[in-house]
Structure 1
Amino acid sequence: MQPIASQPSGQTNVGGCHCNPPAAALLLLLCLGFPTSVAVCPPYCLCASDIISCSGLNLSKLPSGLPSYATRLDLSHNALTALSTDWIPQQFHRLATLVLSRNSINQIEANAFNATPHLLHLDLSSNRITVLNVSLFTGLKELKELLLFDNQIVQINPGALDDLHSLQRLYLSGNKLKAFPLGLYWEPGGPRNLTFLDLSYNRLTKLPVQSLLSLTRQGRIYLQENPLVCDCALLALLEYWLWKQYRPLVDFRGEYPCREDSGPGPTCNQQGVSDMPLESQTYQEEPGKWLRVPCPGLGSSAQEDLVVFWLTPRTVVNSSTDDPSAHLIVLPNGTLEIRGALVEDSGTYGCVAARQRHYDPYTSFEVNVVVGNVSTASAIGSVRRSGTEHFNTAFTTLASCVVSIVLVLLYLYLTPCRCRESRGGSRGCGGRAIILCSDPREVESGQQWSNGKRVAFLEPQAEDSNIGSPKTPAVNLDHSTIEGILKNGSRTVGQSPIDPDHMA
């Protein structure tokens, strides 16, 4: 009888193998790529995989020893007051979501987020921030969503959002802004694809109507519950948005001024406003000539103080522009004058004016302008509108061809048909669709060759069946299809946009 060796404490014997749990845990951490020196969860925090929550602990500074492999860090409902340059003592290269809401942060230094260069979501809501200074978010070139609602922001200085090239969604609701932050769109170092901006519940009284007509073609801007002055320009904007079924207005129609139930509203001059149905019309002219396009719903007797905006395929102009050398001029009665028309001027034009009337979905504020012959203008417009569709169609066709070729090759080389003697003494391939056989002369002579093989696509030959029976396709390769946000700190590759319901 052999003696039984005693096992050290903390070890187990499974299937003849000695296992040490601490060593196994260490090996697992190394395999997962987690540094063992920082893989300890701080006291009172909750750690689950790469998600760390230190919420509601009344912390005044960042806990020490946080695992640097975290992809989501929640520091909400604490007592943080300032974010200095070194408030994060170590690099968090994998951190995608940082939650700092419900603190008392009133100061953020420049370069405060250098330790988190790959952030995608940053939540600074419900704090005490008053001013967004320059270079506040330097280094966050991958940030897509920034939450700043429910603060006390009164000013956004130029360059405050520098480096936020990838920013798509910005929440500024519930602050104290008095001016629309146009710099978010035109500053060279700021966001390049901002498609969602929430400015509701601020203190805005005036809006840059002409700029908004252009900006809202590409995304959503929420402006409800601001003390806006209901003038004729704002009324024209709201009427146009309502006709376009612009979601930020339609969803919060009762929280905007100039409503039907909000009183008489502004006294816009109604002389010259026609009650005739608004129908889409087309105006055509030769290149180099002048073309005048009347505003739908406005007659030639419209007064000179009427506010009119025209949305052209390339820009937005209004009746207050007084530049005799301009290519596009809005005359005092609202008519658009195109001087020296170009073929590139062809397209859809929208006239925005305060008509103060109800419109059904079949009415139109827009007209079509054709410069040159109709076929040329149509071709240019088609290229502008459907370039992406053409690319998608070509890509789908190419992908379908590749898949078809791959399927044929797989069928040929992975499932070859064996040629063998049949009962009747003839040499064949079983009478099925695709066969891989020797040269036909070999079949007739009964000889076997090591080379000279041929691939033949033959009609199916049903054994023991009538000659006159209908033929069926050999291989059916039709109906081949190809199917090709990050949330809570997780990353995805090839993310899809946004948010639908954009302005046309």
Structure 2
Amino acid sequence: MYVESVVRWGAWSILLYFGLVVSAGGCPPRCVCQPEAKVICSGKHLNSVPEGFSSNVRCLDISHNKIKTVGRRQFSGLLQLQELDLSDNIISMIEVEAFQGLQNLRMLRIKNNRLKIIPVGVFSGLFSLRFLDLSQNEILVFLDYTFKEMVNLQTLEAGENDLVFISQRAFFGLQNLQELNLDRSNLTFIPTEALSQLQSLTCLRILRLTISTLPNNAFRRLHRLRSLLIANWPALDTIASSSLIGLNLTSLVISSCNLSVVPYSALRHLVYLRFLDLSYNPITVIQGNLLGDLLRLQELHLAGGSLLRIEPGAFRGLAYFRLLNVTSNQLTTLEESVFHSVGNLQVLRLDGNPLACDCRLLWVVRRRVRLNFEGHQPTCSSPDAVRQREFRDFSDKDLPTLFTCRPPHIMDRRSQEARVEEGTTVLFSCKADGDPFPFITWISSHKNVVSPTGRIRVLPNGTLEVRFAQVQDSGTYQCLAGNAAGNDSLAVKLYVKGLPHNRTISFFSEEGWVEPSNTQAVNSSAQMAKPYPFDAKTLIIATTMGFLSFLSSVAICFVFMFLWSQSKGQIKHTATIDFVPRSSMSGGGDGGDGGRFTMKLI
């Protein structure tokens, strides 16, 4: 009796459903009408949009057909439609107001078609749309006001098109857009002005571009942006210091680019950043004490790069730091001093690096049970005694004998004291041995660390060079050789006498102090003995040139005087001068007899 009732009720339900469908309009040929007002016309070899849909259809799938054109008001009457899928057709034209009347449409997919341009007005009437997928088309340009009526759109997928230009007001009206994907295009610059229209954007993905520089203010006005993904830009090697200014990011990915250094200046103001991924860039070093402004940073991924070292203090000040992923790099070690607190570290990916298992990695091995290696155990590459052994293979009793270091030792400890005259260049050597190989640091007489550049510098082999020594350089210099096992030091002294014009070079080697040869000294003395800065030939040439210049000036003056005299008309060529000679015996009064003479004028 119960079974009969169930069957009867099921039959009435089916009849009622089909009755409603028929009364509402029916199901188009070659389409499948499912419960909950869902119509499937996918993969039916349709050449045009079918007709005869029920007015209560909510989900319509016309994907994987051969539709070429979507006409004006093609879907009028489908007032309840919420989802429309036109993907994987060969649509090359969508007429203006094609979707007019779909006032309840929330999701529209036009993925993988042949659209080259979208006329303004195509999306007219789609006030309720939340999701739009235009990816994998051939769209060349987004024109002004293309999306202006889509005030409730939240996600726009526009990747894998042939975009060469995005007009400044293309995104005008997308006041609620939260996610934008611009994967793979032919853009040659960041569409900064267009992006600035997206005041509510929280997630931006820009992939596979050929831009080489991220300019200053590239993403201005995007104050709500929280996630920025830049990936697969093989030419990107420069990130301007103010390129990310104004952003309050919590997640930043700049991967598979051509960055050779961590963009410290561009990152400095991102105080809310929690996730940073710089993987697959040829970055060789993470420098110390330059990431401290990223107070909330929790994760750093730098996998597949060219990392050679992470300097002590690299993550100092990062109290919330819990995950470091540096897999597949060229690291030989990772010292405990790199971190603010190793107690906060939860996940560590060190696999794929040529690790030297010595005392520097002892802190990692001791935490091998508590640390999460995500299923990828670090493996020793050296020394030979532990080669190819994974960290989990070591027992606690093995650690003190296997993970060891040899403190540094300065090999030549002979006294080095230089007394030189001002202007001399002096070299102090400092060679050390140890395991791992010690790092050489010089402390100046003024208690400052000597840098590799400048007049006083440290050479690559650890030698201290004082070029053109000055009196104020006098004092004691200290060589420090250090590694993870300890330090060794050696002091040298320099005395500089204030005598000018001396340019000799002396240095300390394994054989002692080396002075310049006698030949060099004689040549230097001969050069300084020259009384004149010019030789005789130079003086003769200079005198001749000056004399010729003087004659030329005199000739020009005579020519001007001649031309001036000719312009004055008839001129007397003689002049008669009367004179009275002054008496030589008196200071005044009358003189003697007068005289006259005539002078010829030229």
What's the TM-score, normalizing by structure 2? 0.37
What's the TM-score, normalizing by structure 1? 0.43
- Larger-Rg structure: 2
* RCO higher in structure (CA 8 A, sep ≥6): 1
Q: Which has the higher strand share?
A: 2
